[in-house]
Amino acid sequence: MADLPTTADLTAAGAFDSPNAYATPGLFDNFSTGDALGLGALGIGAGLMLGRGETPLPPEFAQMGAMVPGLQSQAQTAWGQGQPLVGQGTDALRMAQRGELTQPQRAELNQFRTGLTNQANQAYAAMGRTMTGDTSAIGTTADIDAKVNAMAQQEIQSTIKLGFDELQAGEGFEKMSLGFSQAAANILEAEGKAQLAQDQAYSKSLTDMFGSIAKVAGLALA
């Protein structure tokens, strides 16, 4: 029967060594408690950032944004007020260019002619004459025509003035409408730029956070 190995023999053979003494080095063998705490803190920070989400824009942007519907409504109202005036002014100028009178102007002009003719007839009757058979009535008739034509020109000038006044008023409303629209567009543009800048900042913060986590993990595992 062979002799049993002594304690010295077993010790020399490594029988009493730790089981890990001959194990292959693991991935986390060099991972210290400090490394774990550092990664844990970064992980908590990232979790809080993701959970909280992106910070809303400052309150003034919400206040300005609330003004946009009102500005757009005012723009539509002003535009609606301006368009009929522009159309009426354009029609008036075209009528004046053609030498046309409005119905009220024609009625006034006919009344004016009738009044002048009646006065002439009365004057001739007082002299025992008539405009129908008196050759001198030709001059009287021409004078009446000249006065009626002069009045017609005044009416056309008034139509031209009315047309320009309506165009000016209509264009004023249109400019007002564009001003309201531009104000609304400026608010939306400013809000959009601020949101874009904040989105980019938030994205960069997340990128930096996860980059830091990766860096710490890489150093700890090296």
Query: Could you state, in order of their start, the residue ranges of all structural domains in the chain?
Result: 34-43+58-221
d(CA 121, CA 129): 9
d(CA 28, CA 89): 86
Record the tokens describing residue 216, joined without a space. Answer: 């710490």
The tens place of each residue's pLDDT in the chain, 222 residues long, gives: 455 555 565 555 555 455 554 445 544 455 455 544 454 554 555 554 455 556 777 888 788 889 999 999 999 999 999 999 999 999 999 999 999 999 999 999 999 999 999 999 999 888 888 888 778 888 999 999 999 999 999 999 999 999 999 999 999 999 999 999 999 999 988 888 888 887 777 677 667 665 665 555 554 445
d(CA 131, CA 138): 8
d(CA 169, CA 177): 12
DSSP 1: -
